[in-house]
Amino acid sequence: MKNKVVIYSLLIFLLGNVFQLASQSIRTGPPKPPMGKRWVLNTDFSDEFNGTALDSNKWLDHHPTWIGRPPGLFMSSQVSIKDGFLQIKGEKMEKDTIVHAYGKDIVFNIKGGAVVSKNTAFLGYYECRVKAAATTMSTTFWFSGKGGEGPNSCDNYSQEWDIQECIGRAGDFEGRYFASGMHSNAHYWYTDCSGEKFDHRAAQVKFEDEDLASEDFHVYGGWWRDKTSASYYYDNREPKHQKFYNKVSDKPMDKPMYMRLVCETYPFPWISLPTDEELADPAKNTVYYDWVRGYELVDAKEPTVLNQGEIIDIYDESIIFDNADIELSNSKSLKLPLSYKANEDREIQFTLLDKNDKKVAELKFIAFAGYANLNVEFNLEEKLDSGTSYKLVGIMKPINDFKTSIIDTSHLIINPSN
């Protein structure tokens, strides 16, 4: 038979700061991980853009295999790091430029830009905070890769995963809905054995919004869950989910891909080309990426190492009990499912007290940096008494910092009952 442990409340205080159970601000960071797992920052795909130049260890300031969609040419001159942002500017060229590429001469007269990761990503959660340019040039956050040989040996494929594609200004054209909200796509670019090419797409995921994407910053996130599916996150909205196109391969997104942050021209007349006036206006022609972050799943108790310069305040650090009820087995142990968020390695200490404030059990463990979802277990000398109230005191603190003054900890009251 099982007893039921009822959790009434928990609030953690650390170094005099209150770490609340919920926040009213725009959600950042990954969704709750699966039980036994922890999200950790993937620094290859994370950048706060707080320097004075693009980090050449992580990024290219151009697209290595694509020069842009005419009439928009990708140019490194349009990419800069300034005022804490990655900025990509769209501008009109002084005169037409002819570029010989892909076996032909192509005319360009608009300048755009692309930033591409040097490393390939595979699975994980990826998000960015960005304010779109107020033009009809794109503001995008996406991934693509070469793919490989198809299932029939004589065919081949490549992949594209678009977390967000938008423009910042509406108009009288078919794609005007791209000016607001979030638009997520997944492409399986397939060439069959006869050489015929196909763009196989999953059903598009959309988040509607009345405001233009250029009016403010928004957080766009995508969880590449596995080779068959993804989930998408827009500000504080509930997530939406997508199954990848699987008529050719049952695991279509099975290869690593490069991250891409791009400002390009879209096909006309689906979306109108930007006007000369808006391209000349510095208040309209620039995309502002505040930050971009990648996360990967590891075992909750697996140590990971972040260098001091890679530690950033992603989370409101906290210990979270999600369920009002916890099942307590009729044994000398107390299992507590919980999650925590920590920007760097911390120590968590729980003390279980009886109604006379006598210590019944104590548990300490290292909470490795990240967002974890796990079970912790108290070993008890005796079973908890039915009908008796207990309280659980929780503290999160810096590791080996015995002088830290904890202002207070609220008490988690538990009442075992048959």
Q: Residues 91, 127, 165, 264: which is the catalytic one?
A: 165
List 160, 264, 278, 296, catalytic entry: 160
Q: Which residues contact 281 (CB under 8 A, 6 or more apart)?
A: none
Tokens of 130: 């960005």
Is 264 a residue of the active site?
Answer: no
> Active-site residue 317, yes or no?
no
Buried b (16+ CB within 10 A) or exposed e, 258-288: bbbbbbbbbeeeebbbbeeebbeeeebbbbb
Q: What positions carry a catalytic annotation?
A: 160, 165
